[in-house]
Amino acid sequence: MCRMICPKCHYEATEHDADRMPGVCPSCGIAYAKWQVKGSAQEKLATDKLAPKETFAKRLYYYQLFMPSDRHESAFWGHLLIYVWFFIWGWYFISGGIDWIRLGDSFLHYVNLPFHEYGHIFFRPFGEIWTLMGGSIFQILVPLAPLLYFLVWQRDNFAASLMLWWSGQNCLDVSPYVADAPTRLIPLIAGIDEAHDWWNVLTLSDRMSYANLYASLFFGLGVVLIIVSQLWGATLLTIEMRGQIKSPGI
């Protein structure tokens, strides 16, 4: 006959314990079945504590640096060519400083312009000041929508890094417009000096003397975003070339 050994006190039931309640230890009184279930749960909890945790920071790291490993080699060279083009283009804008001719005559300025104009409509419910600033703010924020789309839904981090570059370029694009507020020399679509967004903003807020400072802040933010995007893209290219980081199943 198989004798039960208590999992808690290790008492081994004998023939004299046959009249005791089945499934219960004659010595300490615990129920064998319940104790085994409890023990299994405790063992699992202990194992979970020892196992490395998938922290939010680690998941974010993989989200930002994940590159598919099943792409053809030509994808890497295509990404590299695009990266070099945007790298040179970014430093072309940065090296010119707050220069309306270099930024305003760029092809990208005319791409950004419709978003700028729509921004005035988008921010109109928030009052006059926000309506005036809304054009500049909206053109900076617009690239962040496709950035999130590529980052979260498409899992195309390289494309997301280019959207961050575009947002930075928009910051550079805004800076000469802000610096122009005291003189209003930049030609406007409306053709009316009084329609100058930042002249109105700084006049209403009595901060015209801060025009150059605000322009420098926009320019500085643009430089930071472009450099971050370039570092991000370079890291992704390195990973794509080496194939070292695979999907962690997220």
Per-residue pLDDT of the chain (250 residues; tens, 9 = 90+): 456 676 666 666 666 666 566 666 766 666 656 655 554 545 555 545 544 555 666 677 677 777 765 566 778 889 999 999 999 999 999 999 999 999 999 999 999 999 999 999 999 999 999 999 999 999 999 999 999 999 888 888 999 999 999 999 999 999 999 999 999 998 887 667 788 999 999 999 999 999 999 999 999 999 999 999 999 999 999 988 876 444 444 4
199: amino acid identity, one letter = W
Kindly state whether residues 90 and 169 are assigned to the same domain: yes
Provide the token pair at 239: 């990973």
Kindly state whether residues 167 and 230 are assigned to the same domain: yes
Kindly state whether residues 26 and 143 are assigned to the same domain: no
Kindly state whether residues 150 and 39 are assigned to the same domain: no
Helices 197-204 + 211-242 axis angle, to 10: 120
Question: What sign has the CA pseudo-torsion 185, 191, 192, 196?
Answer: negative
* Its pTM surpasses 0.75: no
Instruction: Provide the domain limits for residue 32.
Output: 15-50
Among 204, 17, 223, CA closest to 129: 204
Assigned domain for 3 exists? no
Please list, in sequence order, all residues whose beta carbon lies within 8 angstroms of the beta carbon of residue 149, skipping any fewer than 6 positions away: none
Confidence at residue 188, expressed as pLDDT on a 0 to 100 scale: 83
Assigned domain for 196 exists? yes
Q: Number of structural domains, the chain?
A: 2
Contact 106, 196 (CB under 8 A): no
Kindly state whether residues 79 and 142 are assigned to the same domain: yes
Assigned domain for 5 exists? no
Provide the token pair at 139: 């053109």
CA gap 178, 199 in Å, rounded: 8
Kindly state whether residues 178 and 72 are assigned to the same domain: yes
Name the DSSP class of 37.
Answer: H
Please list, in sequence order, all residues whose beta carbon lies within 8 angstroms of the beta carbon of residue 146, skipping any fewer than 6 positions away: 159, 160, 163
Assigned domain for 73 exists? yes
Kindly state whether residues 112 and 22 are assigned to the same domain: no
Confidence at residue 195, expressed as pLDDT on a 0 to 100 scale: 84
Confidence at residue 152, expressed as pLDDT on a 0 to 100 scale: 86
Kindly state whether residues 161 and 201 are assigned to the same domain: yes
Whole-number Cα distances in Å, 206 to 120, 126, 127, 130: 21, 20, 17, 15
CA gap 233, 250 in Å, rounded: 21
Assigned domain for 201 exists? yes
Confidence at residue 245, expressed as pLDDT on a 0 to 100 scale: 46
Q: Where are the alpha helices (DSSP H) in 51-156?
A: 56-65, 73-95, 100-104, 107-122, 128-141, 144-148
Kindly state whether residues 155 and 39 are assigned to the same domain: no
CA gap 72, 79 in Å, rounded: 12
CA gap 67, 235 in Å, rounded: 10
Assigned domain for 2 exists? no
CA gap 125, 131 in Å, rounded: 8
Kindly state whether residues 74 and 103 are assigned to the same domain: yes
Contact 66, 157 (CB under 8 A): yes
Kindly state whether residues 38 and 110 are assigned to the same domain: no
Kindly state whether residues 139 and 233 are assigned to the same domain: yes
168: amino acid identity, one letter = G
